Amino acid sequence: MSWLWSVRTPGHIAKSEHVRCRLVNRRTWTLLTSVVLVVAFGLLGAFARVPFVALGPGPTYDTLGLEGDHPVIGVEGHETYPTAGHLNMTTVSVTDQLSLFGALGLWVSGRYALAPRDVYFPPNKSEQQIEQENTEAFNDSQTTAETAALRFLGYPHKVLVGQIVKGSPADGTLEPGDRLLNANGKPVTDAASLKAALAGTKPGDRVEIRYQRADQPEQVASVQLGRNDQPGGDQSQGFLGVGATERPDVPFEIKISLADVGGPSAGLMFTLAIIDKLTPGELNGGKFVAGTGEIDPAGNVGPIGGIPFKMIKAKEAGATTFLVPAENCAEAKSQAPDGLQLARVANLVDATKAMEALRANQAPAAC
């Protein structure tokens, strides 16, 4: 039997240990560097803000129901009729101050989309200014909904002075809220009639404006028309400098109580709810209807943004029919949740016809 012995000299041992130490040190530094990079990336992903916001399904509100202890739409001084079912307005949530991981998580969920933050929070405006603008747009949508609904039902309306261009002929003579009765010898019955009354005039012409301020007697002002130097203005026609707005002229009051909501897209559903409350029967046939759309005083329904998210929330809340502005139909049709019936509406007449079809258990005009 033979044995093999490995004999190491002291110098050989020292050299091996030195190499081993260098390898250990290199591995340690590599490991430490990796840990530091992972921690840094984790902190960056968790806390660093990205220049995006997340758009997703927002709350939905039944305009026929209650908000707290108060009806969303209340009528004082006029008879109202029982309603049933739902007429839900829908919203889009905007999530700001997103971290990298937060943004990726919302995007991966499939319920949210990312959009550049500057689109929703322009750098030249403060968050308070943006919030105020959204609130004003929402308040305007309430007023316009009231006007559109009562006009549709045949109630009288009046024309009021809205914005006045600073330094214009009207500035200092008329005030916002003045009721316009006559201009240049022609009755002012709506916003378009004021424009028509000044057609054919030229800068320097003098015209008479008959108006009423609050409960004071009617007044007549002689105004020399100026020139419209605003971008896109017709400089050949006489310029008064008044924006006319229409308001119902009725002896009762409509109150819409809904806080923390912004934007104009609830106009259509507010309008339908007002009509439902002021007319006998159930406008929607007792069904769960949701929808969206901006509306003007004449009852025209305008397009809005975020309709895929609004449809998702409406379906989850129980809606079976969704009212879609005509210009949003292509987008809505391609992304509608299964089981949600879409009804195309270009104006208030279309919307009420859709309600009529639902009452008869028929399908409304679709997208």
Give the model's pLDDT for residue 130. Answer: 84
Indicate whether 320 and 185 sit together in one domain: no
- In whole angstroms, give the CA distance from residue 274 to residue 292: 15
Give the model's pLDDT for residue 38. Answer: 47
What would the mean pLDDT of 80-99 be, rounded to a whole number? 94
pLDDT greater than 90 at residue 367: yes
What would the mean pLDDT of 159-187 be, rounded to a whole number? 95
Whether residue 9 is contained in a domain is answered as: no
Indicate whether 139 and 276 sit together in one domain: yes
Residue 356: Cβ within 10 Å count:
13
- Residue 206 domain boundaries: 157-248
Residue 339: exposure state from Cβ atoms within 10 A (0-12, 13-18, ≥19)? exposed
248, 282, 314 - which closes a domain:
248
- In whole angstroms, give the CA distance from residue 253 to residue 274: 11
Indicate whether 137 and 175 sit together in one domain: no
pLDDT greater than 70 at residue 8: no
- The pTM (predicted TM-score) of the whole model is 0.80
274-317 residue pLDDT tens: 999 999 999 999 999 999 999 999 999 999 999 999 999 999 99
Q: Residue 361 region, left (φ>0) first, then alpha (ψ -120 to 50), else beta?
A: left
Q: In whole angstroms, how far apart are CA 367 and each of 265, 292, 313, 327? A: 19, 14, 19, 10
CB 194 within 8 Å of CB 159: yes
Whether residue 182 is contained in a domain is answered as: yes
Active site residue 265: yes
Indicate whether 205 and 276 sit together in one domain: no
Q: Give per-residue burial for 135-159: e unless 16+ CB within 10 Å, then b.
A: eebbeebbbbbbbbbbbbeebebbb
Give the model's pLDDT for residue 103. Answer: 81
Active site residue 202: no
CB 255 within 8 Å of CB 157: no
pLDDT greater than 60 at residue 4: no
% of the chain at pLDDT higher than 90: 69
Q: How confident is the model at residue 319 (pLDDT cuts 50, 70, 90)?
A: very high
Whether residue 366 is contained in a domain is answered as: no
Per the residue annotation, which of 141, 168, 265, 277 is the catalytic one? 265
Give the model's pLDDT for residue 117. Answer: 92
Of the ranges 38-52, 145-159, 213-227, which one carries the lowest mean pLDDT score?
38-52
Whether residue 172 is contained in a domain is answered as: yes
State how many domains the chain has.
2
Indicate whether 297 and 242 sit together in one domain: no
Whether residue 292 is contained in a domain is answered as: yes
Indicate whether 259 and 344 sit together in one domain: yes
Residue 179: Cβ within 10 Å count:
17
Indicate whether 269 and 171 sit together in one domain: no
Of the ranges 97-101, 237-241, 296-300, 357-361, which one carries the lowest mean pLDDT score?
97-101
Indicate whether 239 and 324 sit together in one domain: no
Give the model's pLDDT for residue 10. Answer: 45
Whether residue 237 is contained in a domain is answered as: yes
CB 268 within 8 Å of CB 276: no
Which residues are registered as beta bridge partners of 247? 158
Whether residue 34 is contained in a domain is answered as: no
What letter represents residue 5's amino acid? W
Indicate whether 276 and 178 sit together in one domain: no
Indicate whether 198 and 258 sit together in one domain: no
What would the mean pLDDT of 322-339 be, rounded to a whole number? 97
Whether residue 340 is contained in a domain is answered as: yes
Indicate whether 147 and 292 sit together in one domain: yes
Indicate whether 176 and 316 sit together in one domain: no
226-283 residue pLDDT tens: 999 888 778 889 999 999 999 999 999 999 988 778 788 999 999 999 999 999 999 9
CATH number at residue 184: 2.30.42.10
224, 248, 272 - which closes a domain:
248
184, 219, 248 - which closes a domain:
248
Of the ranges 31-40, 85-94, 313-322, 336-345, which one carries the lowest mean pLDDT score?
31-40
Per the residue annotation, which of 277, 287, 310, 313 is the catalytic one? 310
CATH number at residue 347: 3.30.230
